[in-house]
Amino acid sequence: MDADWLPFHPHPSVPAFRVPPGSVDAHCHVFGPAGLFPFAPERRYTPCDASRRQLFALRDRLGFARNVVVQATCHGADNRAMVDALVHSEGRARGVATVRRDVAPRELAQLHEAGVRGVRFNFLKRLVDFTPREELMDIARRIAPLGWHVVVYFEAADLPELWDFFTALPTALVVDHMGRPDVTRPADGPEFERFVRLLHEHENIWSKVSCPERVSVSGPPALNGERNAYRDVVPFARRLVETFPDRVLWGTDWPHPNLKHHMPDDGLLVDFVPQIAITEELQRKLLVDNPMRLYWAD
């Protein structure tokens, strides 16, 4: 089966920034291997195989201690590859699953036992078909007693329509990639203000300050010739880190599914962190304290 996106960086650099001890890469994936864990028939892209062994090798190379493995749409609601990574991680990985409304209680219990602590709802029209909100609300009600949270992936323009649904959820909510802001607009303009207001008004809503490589227009250093990569994303991520220091998470997004133009060097992504979390205290909260509270509370 051929991948229809770029392969991940074959030799990521060792970051110049040394992450604090116990750091968590709180957004990454495993894919396949397709021979063992086939991709979902309804998928909108076909990734390269990206195994748990490769993920754990990257974790060690970047200096991280733990991973949160997030189910991506290319595996649909078949969580086997992600669960396989968790159970072979020696307790160093937790997971976010995709489940359907009719998931059996026994399956939820097994996922919990494996280390799953959340479910993901994806609202990107290019990635998934529409699921009625009441179905998603049902899933949220079913996972709430387990102490899990909901992870959502959407684009900034869709926030007004999703606001009431998000704020009615019975669990904590984690937003992927800062709600995908349009970084050609100002970080203090109305669109990003709306996202900041969502977190201000709802103390159980968190944000990942991840994926500068997806959100950036100015691009990485090799393309723009400047020392600082993804500079247009900095004001957005830094504002969230400084305004909500106890509710932000960071992750590599390895192996960077569905990127078609530029494949980041994961070491340089880690070097981006001190630009958005500029003190040791903010770095420790972002990389250690916050993900540990959310994923390793027990």
Which of 74, 93, 97, 288: binder of ligand 0GY (CB under 6 A)? 74
Contact indicator for 235, 272 with CB cutoff of 8 Å = no
Return the range that interacts with ligand 0GY (CB under 6 A); candidates 10-18, 131-139, 144-152, 250-258.
Answer: 250-258
- Under the binding rule (CB under 6 A), the answer on residue 23 touching ligand 0GY is no
266 binding ligand 0GY? (CB under 6 A): no
In angstroms, what is the C-alpha Rg of the chain?
18
* In contact, 137 and 54? CB cutoff 8 Å: no
Examine residue 181 and tell whether it contacts ligand 0GY (CB under 6 A).
no
Helix or strand or coil: residue 70? strand
Candidates 67, 73, 171, 218; binder of ligand 0GY (CB under 6 A) is 73
In the bound state with ligand 0GY, the residue whose beta carbon lies nearer, of 122 and 131, is: 122
String of DSSP letters for 121-181: EE--TTT-----HHHHHHHHHHHGGGT-EEEEE--GGGHHHHHHHHHH-SS-EEEGGGG--
Say how far apart CA 280 and CA 61 lie, in whole Å.
21
Does a cis peptide bond (omega within 30 degrees of 0) precede residue 33? yes
- Candidates 8, 64, 153, 195; binder of ligand 0GY (CB under 6 A) is 153
Query: Which of residues 77, 87, 107, 122 is near ligand 0GY by CB under 6 A?
Result: 122
Among 59, 86, 143, 176, binds ligand 0GY (CB under 6 A): 176
Give catalytic residues, as residue numbers.
253
Q: Enumerate binding residues for ligand 0GY (CB under 6 A).
A: 72-74, 122, 127, 153, 176, 214, 253, 257-258
